[in-house]
Amino acid sequence: MAIQKSVNKITIPITIDRLSIDDTDDIVELDKKCFPTPWSASAYLTEVHNSSAYYIVAKTDGRIVGYAGMWLIMDEAHITTIGVDPDYRGKKVGERMLIDMLRAAVQNGAARATLEVRKQNLAAQNLYLKYGFEIVAIRRGYYTDNNEDAFVMWTKDMQQPEYRRVFNMNVKQIEERL
């Protein structure tokens, strides 16, 4: 399976905050721009109150341009969603949210992280590979909008020095670009 290399892209200044109830209407609208089967407002409201959930928003100039979330269960982090406004893709918004989530996962004792990604979403796959995820399985027909398969990806032990070295190197490269 060939994975395409990404090219250097422009970064923008963003802040990352925890998702709040006040953000849910904006997230629902952005979700509609990002995905063919967006979540409902009630789904996001449930996640705001879920003690196992960690959801964040990325803002630039006070505007939400990205959101991401995961569940922290025992020693695993399950990334449930990462969405970036189409007008802000290629500006490292998704990568910076992924960094934030992986840091939070490690700080909360997660040893591994997992996610599902569309088989055709090479940009996302490249990002996840960069942060130590590996394709370990395929979920056939996982996406209900078009019956597309999903790759299941997992990291190795994020608490191990080798993983932390690679993670920190990637973070340093992003920080240098800012």
Which residues are identified as catalytic? 116, 128
Q: Helix, strand, or coil here: 98? A: helix
Residues 167 and 24: their CA atoms lie apart, in Å, by: 30
**Could you tell me the two tokens for 6?**
């990404």
Q: Helix, strand, or coil here: 126? A: helix
For strand 148-155 and strand 15-18, is the pairing parallel, antiparallel, or unpaired? unpaired
From 97, 98, 131, select the one nearest 14 (Cα to Cα).
Answer: 97
Residues 97 and 70: their CA atoms lie apart, in Å, by: 11
How much is the CA Rg of the chain, to the nearest whole Å?
A: 16
Residues 146 and 88: their CA atoms lie apart, in Å, by: 25
